[in-house]
Chain A
Amino acid sequence: MSPTIPFDPRVLRAPHPVPGAPDNWRRFFSFNTDAKVIGIQYIAVSLFFLLVGGLLAMIMRGELLTPPADLVDPTVYNGLYTMHGTVMLFLFLFPVLNGFNNLLIPPMIGAPDMAFPRLNAAAFWLFPVFGVILMLSFLVPGGPSGSGWWAYPPVSTQNPLGHFINGQFLWILAVALSGVSSIMGAVNFCTTIIRMRAPGMGWFRMPIFCWTALAAQAIQLCGLPVLTAGAVMLLFDLSFGTSFFRPEGGGDPMLYQHFFWFYSHPAVYVMVLPIFGVFSEVFPVYARKPLFGYHVVAIASFAITFLSLIVWVHHMFYSGTPQWMRNVFMVTTMLIAVPTGIKVFAWLGTLWRGKLRLTTPMLFCLGGLFNFIFAGITGIMLATVPVDIHVGNTYFVVGHFHTVIFSTITYGVFAAIYHWFPKFTGRMTYEGLGQLHFVLTFLGSQLNFLPMHWAGLMGMPRRVASYDPEFAGANVLASLGAFLLGVATLPFLINIVSSWARGAKAPANPWQAIGLEWLLPSPPPAENFGEHVPVVIAGPYGYGLGRDLVEDQESVVQRSLQEA
């Protein structure tokens, strides 16, 4: 394999306004252009919003503990579930994954920073802005948006109080700004991966995390403009009396659903692809084996990107979609199972005959894979039109996507935090607390999300504040699971905070992992390899193959030891 693009020396060297890393904590509160600072900023703020979203979920599960709507008013419940979904997607998952993109992409490909550092910092600083806008919507008269994270019109454009500034207005503003920020990020990530790889790092020597990041960010570039257009039209219908989606004025509410899902289906792959990347990085390290079928896994990422753009109508099977269209989108949706299956089997192949070390990141990846297989199977059920006609818009769907979004993606986020924490903070985490976090999370998520499938099969609609007594059993179990998940975050928070403050100093490569980022000191210096960018001579994951990753590896390792 020949190196494609020679290393581009014109990498930008934007000055860092608050120098003095790594001891100067003030840099985290400034417009800093260092991708490693931005990465940690993203992750810290998004973890804060994970707690906010989790708190909203606890109140919802408290309400659902008993059949009648007795804890909060039904309108309050509607606002809570809307904000829970919106916070979790737009203020937790997207930003936390952008945080990992920032931390991991430059060191993994040997680049000193992102291609456009100022754009990068601007994209980050939009995040607190739209975060605050969304939170402010709790304070406006009438409360936050209560039309669900889909914001389907006409409910979303009813504006009961008639104020110009209302919860729905702020919601649309926040989501649109989040889209702008994501597009800025996507331009940066794609450019960096395409243009700034170390000499010798051809496409098929690139770590899978970078493949999946590129595949995911390509989706952002294709899909987000469509969502943004839909959001702007919705804003105009809401605030300026247009009728894009109003039947009275000749519009069609179904049109919005197409705009929304054209992006929002692929969006779920924007979230899961990087986690496929995390699995592909973590399994080889702790199974001590090369990734099984590296080339196919890499290509499958782009097969997923392509297919994810042509399946969106599976969210609209019961909304008046003609039969031929249902059949077409059923077939395309089912096809996604093929590249996804390739990845799952490749991870199993990686585990097979390995030398497994069940560390915290490995446990989260194993648990996440286990849950993902389950969710893939319920996904196929949902893709089957006659079955979806029954379980669509019920708790079965809620169970399906929480098994993916929490029990796979968020597990992957935890795995990534534990795996790369030593690298980017220079401190080790406490293994015992990590394992406790895993055990509680695994039990809590099964208890929370499995009974939801059952409630859905029995016919419990989603988004309800009250329900018939026959669903009480499933809901009590789910609520207990949710409270257990709340408890599970305590060892996590304690671990992260106290490890960073006073954990043991981390060596450059605590896990004996193979990869450019592990050839840097922990934490890496501001510009990673600086002048001494190593020349990559082999593909990633060479466990047990007895080969070097870079030219003159010994001296690269020595240099990282000296700098530390």
Chain B
Amino acid sequence: MTGEAPSRPFRPDPAAIVLVAIAVALNVLASVWMSQRVHDWLPVQASSAAPYVDNLFALEAGIGTFIFLGCACVMGWTILFNRAPKYDMDDGAPIEGNLRLEIVWTLVPLVIVMAIAVHAIQVNQVLATLDGKVRVSSGSEALAVAGSAAGEEPVGPIQVIGRQWSWEFIYPEGVHSTELHLPVDRRARLELISMDVLHGFYVPAFRLKQDLVPGSVIAYALTPTREGRYRLRDSMFSGGYFAANQTDVVVESDDAYRAWLKDALRRPLVPAANPATELWRLRRERGDRGWATVPPAPPPLVHVDADPNAPHDA
């Protein structure tokens, strides 16, 4: 940047050009490296949505690194080389602005963010066919909506019921459980239902999250793509023992899934061992100290209870 007289024609200094070119090249390398690193900071990919989310995030991490480092270099340069020596009371170069530069740094970010937005809308469209979700007012309407989706025979609909503070899953086959079992590589349809307050159905390994809204049944669909045991966490604050409202999703082969259903039906219905109920009991035993909360809802009656000690993959 020439500065003294903005009217003077721009005459680049070769040394400066080389320096800037090297800096930009290094910055590009760092940004590419960063966009590859993001997979280390994310859980395993266990649903068909996960690669899309991760790739979008990697793209943004790359662009973001480039911008961040670029700005940080300018700041670092000025701090190192444009410092006033002690007792130097002079002013800096009296540059009031540069119209061309200002137009560039308005248009370039505009183009970048709009490109990201267009790309993200396309991803949204893909994910919508993968994981459509429609708000409905009744359960039967939810079935109609979810059933109309094309493709091979989907699993479900499995009712996902959120309570303060437990999860319950009811399969069309009649199985009740507190652990969500899904066959791998098959589209699963869910109906998200809340019995009291807002909850969030969040499986980090799936990269998917959807709130359960009291007063509506939300039809939801997803396709697990990797066998394993993953955490399902309540992501929308739901009061007192919110943090304890977690369970597991078990993704298994089609055969294992069918066998699990069959075995489950042979078992009796028993009250689930509920972490929130246990915490509540302890609190009462210790003199009910703490601030006000509604008591936990009675634990659901289930054929299969979740195993709190089973190690999870993500």
Contact = CB atoms under 8 A, between A and B. Distances in A.
A153 to B, nearest CB: 8
Interface SS, B side: mixed
Contact of A78 (B53, B209, B234, B291): B291
B145 to A, nearest CB: 13
A55 interface: no
Contact of A254 (B67, B213, B237): B213
A318 B92 contact: no
A161 interface: yes
Contact of B242 (A78, A349, A352, A358): A78
Contact of B198 (A152, A351, A378, A380): A152
Given A74-B240, A326-B124, A342 B105 contact: yes
B105 A345 contact: yes
Contacts of A351: 74-75, 78, 82
A327 to B, nearest CB: 5
A459 B202 contact: yes
Given A353-B93, A377-B64, A384-B116, 15 more contacts: A143-B291, A158-B239, A247-B215, A248-B215, A318-B209, A345-B102, A348-B75, A349-B97, A353-B3, A356-B84, A373-B72, A394-B235, A463-B237, A467-B243, A544-B91
Contacts of A374: 68
Interface in A134-163: 141-144, 146-148, 150, 152, 154-155, 158, 160-161
Interface stretch (B41-49, B170-178, B261-269): B41-49
B207 interface: yes
A563 B143 CA distance: 81
Contacts of B61: 381
Range of interface residues on B (Cβ < 8 Å) = 35 or more
Interface in B70-104: 71-72, 74-75, 78-79, 82-84, 88-98, 101-102
Given A373-B72, A393-B236, A338 B106 contact: yes
B20 interface: no
B38 to A, nearest CB: 8
Range of interface residues on A (Cβ < 8 Å) = 35 or more
A307 interface: no
Contacts of B49: 386
B167 interface: no
Interface stretch (B107-115, B147-155, B182-190): B107-115
B99 to A, nearest CB: 8
A351 B209 CA distance: 43
Contacts of B91: 288-289, 355, 543-544
A109 interface: no
B288 to A, nearest CB: 10
B276 to A, nearest CB: 9
A277 interface: no
Given A385-B120, A386-B123, A73 B92 contact: no
Interface in A251-306: 252-254, 287-290, 292-296
A76 B291 contact: yes
Contacts, number: 304
Most chain A beta carbons < 10 A, residue from B3, B96, B208: B96
Contact of B96 (A147, A292, A337, A377): A292
Given A289-B93, A386-B56, A457 B71 contact: no
Contacts of A385: 120, 124
Nearest to B289: A73
Contacts of A366: 75, 79
A161 B123 CA distance: 47
A354 B102 contact: no
Interface in A350-368: 351-358, 366
A386 B120 contact: yes
Interface string A319-331: 1101100110011
B256 interface: no
B243 A74 contact: yes
Closest 9 A/B residue pairs (Cβ): A459-B204, A247-B215, A143-B291, A142-B292, A544-B91, A544-B94, A73-B290, A354-B92, A464-B243
Contacts of B74: 348, 351-352
23 contacts: A75-B293, A76-B291, A152-B198, A248-B215, A290-B96, A293-B96, A318-B211, A320-B211, A330-B120, A342-B106, A351-B74, A353-B92, A354-B92, A384-B116, A386-B52, A386-B124, A386-B127, A386-B207, A393-B236, A458-B204, A459-B202, A464-B243, A544-B91
Contacts of B226: none
